Amino acid sequence: MKIPDFIKSNLLLKMTSLNAIVVSIRLLVSAVVQRLLFDLVGAEGLFKIGQLRSLTQLLTSLTSLGVFNGVVKYLSEYKDDKPKLQQLFSTAFVFMVVGTLLSSLVLFVFASPISDYLFTDSVDYSFVIRFVAIVAPSIAVQRVFSGVVNGLSEYKKFAKIELISYLLSIALLLVCLYHYSLSGVLLAIALAPAIQVAVVVVIFYKLLNQYVQFSKLKFQTPFLKNLLAFTLMSFVATILLHFVEIDIRSMLAEKMSERDAGVWTNISFISRNYMVFSGSLFTLYVLPKFAGIYSGKAFKNEVYSIYKTLLPIFGLGMLLVFFGKSIIIQLLYPGLDEMLPLFKWQLLGDFIRLASLVLAHQFLAKKMVRNFIFSELLSLGLFYGFANYLVAHYGVEGIVIGHFLRYIIYFIVVVFLVWRYFNNQKLSQSDTTSIA
């Protein structure tokens, strides 16, 4: 099928179209798998699966010490400077070794209490936690390699990686589910990063070898100060986020029931699947684009262009999800009608979240550490506070109401911080001109 000219001429739209194909396939496969999981392990089992997924996602930052966005930023800046790249990858390698050793050690030593905290029942899943500890190095490698691919803006190949690794992970999950039920599913989730690494290496071997000279990696950290800023930002944005999610699920399981915790896990799963649509666009397009913009006018024009392209597409998709929510529940989670009131708040929150995250990527692009940390801590603090307060009054619905309220405030704060940045920059330029 011939691609229309208006799509060809718009890189963001081209990437969006390609991403939509990948996401559509993922959504279809996810729907089938999610229904199968619900039938076999129930909402309670999905709660446990959600907890382990949050743990592995938390480890994507812990094991690599959060260097992903740093690798994306500096690779896009120095991709023609081989000595600089070698310094970057040597530093990332040290970060990865340190992060992996610390994470694996903690998981091994404290496997039993971590299992009790995550799963809140009498069944001991410490063997799963120790298995995750063994797989931890592949989680770190996968994250750093993905940073390389994103930094080079190889969006077509990245889409291929995402799809192939996802389908292979799902195949493994189904085999393990058939043979070992819930325990098998948990082990398959833990093993998924190793599959992703294998796919990345197979597809990108030549490209990785071109930019990453593995034989010349040194245990040195010339990019230490540069990457530490991203480590700090990743700690706040990713590690604390997934810790908050884990804690809220545990709180729901203890105060209400594992079924209620599973209900929130399910609505979060649906949200995460359609938000995947935008995730890779941020790192492949928005982050490198913002990194090269230095004037307020150019930034404003680029944001307008992104909003004009993404928000209508995303909004239309969300409307389809909202009006089809009864069908979605019937197909995925039959009998779980208590999910129906959650869609409105989750979708509204996600729409504002998308608009906010576009602007917030300026903090990463310009390494605005203080602004990033402040806004993220505010966002997480608001969500945690709203969730714990509102759950007593509205049950599970209180969690998603908190999600919506959090992003309204977050958006306002991010708009103000970005405006202040460019306003201060303008004033600084005016002062320089006056002195001259």
Q: Is residue 331 part of a domain?
A: yes
Name residue 20's amino acid.
A
Looking at the structure of the chain, the number of domains it has is 1
Contacts within 8 Å (CB) and 24+ apart, 404-408: 404/345, 404/346, 404/348, 404/349, 404/352, 406/349, 406/379, 406/382, 407/349, 407/352, 407/353, 407/356, 407/379, 408/352
Domain around 185: 5-430
| Token representation of residue 166 | 């996802």
Q: Which of 385, 386, 379, 371 is nearest to 410 (CA)?
A: 379
| Token representation of residue 386 | 């709203």
Q: Is residue 435 part of a domain?
A: no
pTM, two decimal places: 0.79
d(CA 325, CA 317): 12
**Other C-beta atoms lying within 10 Å of the C-beta of residue 357:** 18
Residue 129 contacts residue 107 (beta carbons within 8 Å): yes
d(CA 318, CA 282): 19
Q: Is residue 325 part of a domain?
A: yes
Alpha-carbon torsion (369, 387, 58, 361), positive or negative:
negative
Calculate ∠ Cα 137-273-257, nearest 5°. 85
* Helices then strands, each counted (H, E), the chain: 16, 0
Return phi, psi of residue 349, to 5°: -60, -40
The region that residue 237 occupies, defined by phi over 0 for left and psi between -120 and 50 for alpha, beta otherwise, is alpha
Q: Is residue 332 part of a domain?
A: yes
Q: Is residue 156 part of a domain?
A: yes
Q: Is residue 160 part of a domain?
A: yes
Q: Is residue 436 part of a domain?
A: no
Distances (CA, A) of 368 to 241, 291, 365: 19, 11, 8
Give the model's pLDDT for residue 235: 75
pLDDT 10s digit of each residue in the chain, 436 long? Answer: 344 443 444 555 555 555 566 667 777 888 888 888 888 888 888 889 888 888 888 888 888 888 877 887 788 778 778 888 888 888 888 888 888 999 999 999 999 999 988 887 667 888 899 999 998 888 888 888 777 777 666 666 677 777 888 888 889 888 888 888 888 888 888 888 888 888 877 777 776 777 776 667 777 788 888 888 878 877 777 788 888 999 999 999 888 888 899 999 999 988 887 787 666 677 667 777 887 778 888 889 988 988 988 888 889 989 999 999 999 899 889 888 899 999 999 999 999 999 999 999 888 888 788 898 899 999 999 999 999 999 989 999 999 999 999 999 999 999 999 999 888 877 666 555 555 5
Alpha-carbon torsion (26, 27, 30, 32), positive or negative:
negative
d(CA 311, CA 411): 15
Q: Is residue 388 part of a domain?
A: yes
